[in-house]
Amino acid sequence: MEHKIAPSILSSNFLNLRSEIEMLNKSEADWIHCDVMDGVFVPNISFGFPVLEQVRDIAAKPLDVHLMIVNPDKFIPEVKAAGAYIMNVHYEACIHLHRTVCAIKQAGMKAAVTVNPHTSVALLDDILEELDMVLIMSVDPGFGAQRFIEHSLQKISTLKEMILRKNLKTLIEVDGGINRETAKLVLEAGADVLVAGNAIFKSNDPLAAISEMKCLGRL
């Protein structure tokens, strides 16, 4: 399966959000990654439902919504109404993760669980078959433009083995510090979806940056 690219609009120019989304609509991006932060789960605040709803109205690609908030299970109907195709909740933020994952799917969304850099992927062994995707954070969540944590590569390979051993179709998404160089490494390790913020929106030619990431791994 060809890998997917999910540009993170956290690094976009919010004053030109319409044209940034229109650029993504024309691009080879597969999904649009939306980072929601509450200032509690992570030390930063980004944007919430009113912004997501407006993105939904003009986006021609599925919204991949990454919730960096406490108690994400409280907001499942709002996330669905805001147009999410896939809802990512943090392992560290969910006490009853199985219940939350079932409720996300019940609401008609794909379910993904995100793990922070210090959280072992082995902890997902008993829930993996319920998941459409696992998001491995390759930086500590909260900010764009941070440096890729090398140990993430080992976590990707371990998770890939777990998925193959169980004969599942669960996707592996990687988020944080992804650029042309680290993208190659994470794809080799087994990633299926690459999130990139800074490397796309701060490049001189975002469309070309997306194409380049999309082409990696093609013969």
Tell me which DSSP letter residue 185 carries: H
Rounded to whole angstroms, the Cα distance separating 69 from 158 reads: 27
**Catalytic residue positions, numbered:** 35, 175
Answer positive or negative: Cα dihedral of 9, 90, 154, 127: negative
Q: Are 183 and 149 within 8 A, CB to CB?
A: no
Q: From the list ligand DX5, Zn ion, none, which binds 101 (C-beta under 5 to 8 Å, kind-based)?
A: none
**35 lies in the binding site for Zn ion (CB under 5 A):** yes
Site residue total, Zn ion (CB under 5 A)? 3
- Least gap, CB of 167 to ligand DX5 (angstroms): 30
- Least gap, CB of 135 to ligand DX5 (angstroms): 8
SS (H, E, C) 113-162: EEECCCCCHHHHCCCHHHCCEEEEECCCCCCCCCCCCCCHHHHHHHHHHH
Interface map 160-199 toward Zn ion (x if CB under 5 A): ---------------x------------------------
Q: From the list Zn ion, ligand DX5, none, which binds 197 (C-beta under 5 to 8 Å, kind-based)?
A: ligand DX5
Interacting residue ranges for ligand DX5, rule: CB under 6 A: 8, 10-11, 33, 35, 66, 139, 141-146, 175-178, 195-199
Nearer to ligand DX5, 177 or 190 (CB): 177
Burial zone of 118 (CB within 10 Å; 0-12 exposed, 13-18 middle, 19+ buried) = exposed
Among 66, 90, 155, 214, contact with Zn ion (rule: CB under 5 A)? 66
- Least gap, CB of 111 to ligand DX5 (angstroms): 17
CA dihedral 165, 112, 93, 144 (to 10 degrees): 110
Q: From the list Zn ion, ligand DX5, none, which binds 72 (C-beta under 5 to 8 Å, kind-based)?
A: none
- Least gap, CB of 219 to Zn ion (angstroms): 30
Nearer to ligand DX5, 168 or 203 (CB): 203
Q: From the list ligand DX5, Zn ion, none, which binds 7 (C-beta under 5 to 8 Å, kind-based)?
A: none
Q: Are 148 and 176 within 8 A, CB to CB?
A: yes
